[in-house]
Each structure stands twice: as structure tokens, then as C-alpha cells.
Amino acid sequence: AQSVTQLGSHVSVSEGALVLLRCNYSSSVPPYLFWYVQYPNQGLQLLLKYTSAATLVKGINGFEAEFKKSETSFHLTKPSAHMSDAAEYFCAVSLHGGSQGNLIFGKGTKLSVKP
Amino acid sequence: EAQVTQNPRYLITVTGKKLTVTCSQNMNHEYMSWYRQDPGLGLRQIYYSMNVEVTDKGDVPEGYKVSRKEKRNFPLILESPSPNQTSLYFCASKLELQGHYEQYFGPGTRLTVT
């Protein structure tokens, strides 16, 4: 069965510093991987997705993630944090279509950005 | 505008009083799903539907019902709500088509059961 582990329920960085949010997955077949962001009191918005094309995926708001099969990881990065990046971030995995397309979410990482 | 809508956005109710949270999407998506979000647990799937009249249990279906009579609507029904169903609920939808993998989420419904 697939699963997702997000290391660190809270991450705090200074404005302008590197953002690194960690995600490791478990899957018996090549997965599709997603990062979603949830701003306070809002729904989930897709940041980026990996669907077996390029391993380095660029998303919105300057975020990117790299799929590393050997490490079963899909860490999210941004070179320079902005105050507006403060939010909760969720990594998710799914297999292919049909019922296997159900998303399995990690428990989330709350990002704080200090001025 | 392509979107998933949920109503109500906020609801406070009492134990045992039946309620329905509606979900509607205007993107002609086959797949729809309900999740609940609880602090420290992330999002967990309650029920999903692959198409009209096709529904199946997710990871935490106990205490919930769903129906899918029309493609655009996927209501979540709590026949007898209990305090442990106090949570933030999200509806989502996606195309069941090769190359379309991401789910689109509604704004959420915050439910409090006293």
C-alpha cells in the first residue's frame, strides 16, 4: 500500500532563506506525486505534480520539487522564502487511474516565515 | 469559472441531528471524493465516486453516507452526527482521463458537532 511521510510538522525559516520541506513515499509501483498548499482558512491548491515526465518539477510561486526514485523522496524547495509562503503544505501520492487514483496525503508541514 | 463548491461553509449542530453537506463541480469530472482534515492527521478520504451511481468507501467511512445521482453533485450525509465528526471537510473532483491526475478541491466546510 502507498504511504507518505512528511518529516517535520512545523518548519520555520527567515524571510529570504531556503525553504526545504521533506516528503518520502512508499509505493510498490511508480507513483504520481503532488504537493498541495493550504493558506489559512482556505482550501487546497495544487503547487506542482510529478507524473513520470521530468524528475525536476517546477510549480507555482517559485516552488520546485525533485523526484528521486533511489531515495523514494519528493522534497519541496524554494530558494528564497517570502512572508506570503506561510501556509501548510501537504505531500500526496497516487497510483494510476481508476480507484488507484485516490490520493494518500501526508500529515502536513506548517511553514512559518520570520521577518 | 471552473470550480468545486461546498455548502454550507460553516455549520454548528447537535449530536444526532441529520445533516447534509453539498458538493458541486462544474468541470464535468467523473471522479469526486470527500476528505476530512484533522490537526496532525492530514487529509483522510471518507468516500469517493468514480462516476454516477458508483461510490466506494475510503479510509474513514464510518458514520457517513454519500450518493451520486448526477455527475456534478456528490453530497455527504451524516445521519446521526457525533462530536468525533467535528472536522474540516473537503470535496474534490478530477477527470478520469489519461494524463489528468490532480484533484481540484472545494473551499471546505467546517463542521462542529456539540
Q: What average pLDDT does the segment A83-107 reach?
A: 84
B40 vs A contacts (CB less than 8 Å): 9, 107
B46-59: pLDDT as tens digits: 999 989 999 999 99
Q: Does the CB of A94 have a partner CB in chain B at under 8 Å? A: yes
CA distances, B26 to each of B1, B21, B71, B104 (Å):
8, 17, 9, 11
**Does A30 sit behind a cis peptide bond, omega within 30 degrees of 0 on the bond before it?**
no
Nearest to B101 among A43, A101, A108 (CB): A101
Cell of B40: 496532525
Quickly list DSSP for A53-87: S-SEEE-GGG-EEEEEGGGTEEEEEESS--GGG-E
Nearest to A90 among B43, B99, B102 (CB): B43
Kindly indicate the confidence band of residue A97, based on its pLDDT and cuts at 50, 70 and 90: low
d(CA B34, CA B23) in angstroms, rounded, equals: 9
pLDDT above 70 (res B95): yes
Torsion sign across C-alpha atoms B42, B47, B52, B54: positive
In chain B, the residue whose alpha carbon lies closest to the alpha carbon of A49 is: B102
CB within 8 Å: B107 and A9: no
To the nearest whole Å, the CA of B56 is away from the closest chain A CA by 9
To the nearest whole Å, the CA of B32 is away from the closest chain A CA by 10
pLDDT above 90 (res A103): no
A39-52: pLDDT as tens digits: 988 889 999 998 87
B21-32: pLDDT as tens digits: 999 999 999 999
pLDDT above 90 (res A100): no
B41 vs A contacts (CB less than 8 Å): 107
pLDDT above 60 (res A98): no
pLDDT above 70 (res B100): no
Q: What average pLDDT does the segment B4-30 reach?
A: 96
CB within 8 Å: A32 and B101: yes
Nearest to A102 among B48, B98, B108 (CB): B48
